Amino acid sequence: MKRDLFAILHGTPAYVLLFVGLLLTLFAQVIPGCRAASVAAAEAELGRAEQLIEYDLADFEKKLQPGDEGSLKAKETEKKRLEQYYALGELRRDIVDVKATAAGTKAHLYLNWIGRVLLILSLLVLADRSEGGRQKVYLLVLALVLFGTLTGITLDVETKARLGG
């Protein structure tokens, strides 16, 4: 007995493939945004620490006597203490790590590819097994998915540019 792949996938399996394909394709678009948000959060944390150091140094300078030779050395010592207190070096390392991780993210590309394959397969099955207006709708959606898949390179380039890769 010869088994037809479209006959096996017709019905509920085709709708499950369609749903999973849509879910993966949509989820793949979220990953670069999350990575960019983590980069922005790390940069904001560094900026906050630098501003707090500036404010604390300004307060410290108000307490010093003007024209005192030791005040310059005291200011430098206080600046080093504040940089250690606010962990400025660790925050700078964190930014480098987060940017490197974000630039190396490729999971969204794989999820998008798998999602599109599942979408195309499910739409092919549904278009093959339906008739009339419903078949035309499935073929139209299939054409849109195929067009999006063929022009998907621009999305990847924009994502890399946004993430610094």
Give the range of the structural domain holding residue 106, as residue numbers without chain letter: 12-163
Q: Confirm whether 158 is domain-assigned.
A: yes
- What is the rounded average pLDDT of the residues 93-122? 85
Among 97, 96, 115, smallest CA distance to 155 is for: 115
Q: Is residue 44 part of a domain?
A: yes
Spatial separation of the C-alpha atoms in residues 4 and 110, rounded to whole Å: 28
Q: How far apart are CA 92 and CA 84, in angstroms?
A: 12
Per-residue pLDDT for 139 more than 50?
yes
Check whether 150 has a pLDDT greater than 80.
no
Render pLDDT for 8-28 as a digit per residue (tens, 0 to 9).
Answer: 777 888 889 889 988 988 888
In a domain, 5, yes or no: no
- pLDDT confidence of residue 126: 86
**Which of 115, 124, 102, 119 minimizes the C-alpha distance to 4?**
124
Is 7 inside a domain boundary? no
Is residue 156 included in any domain, yes or no? Answer: yes
Number of domains in the chain: 1
Residue 60 lies in a domain: yes
Distance (Å, rounded) from C-alpha 117 to C-alpha 152? 13
Please give the pLDDT value at position 5: 73
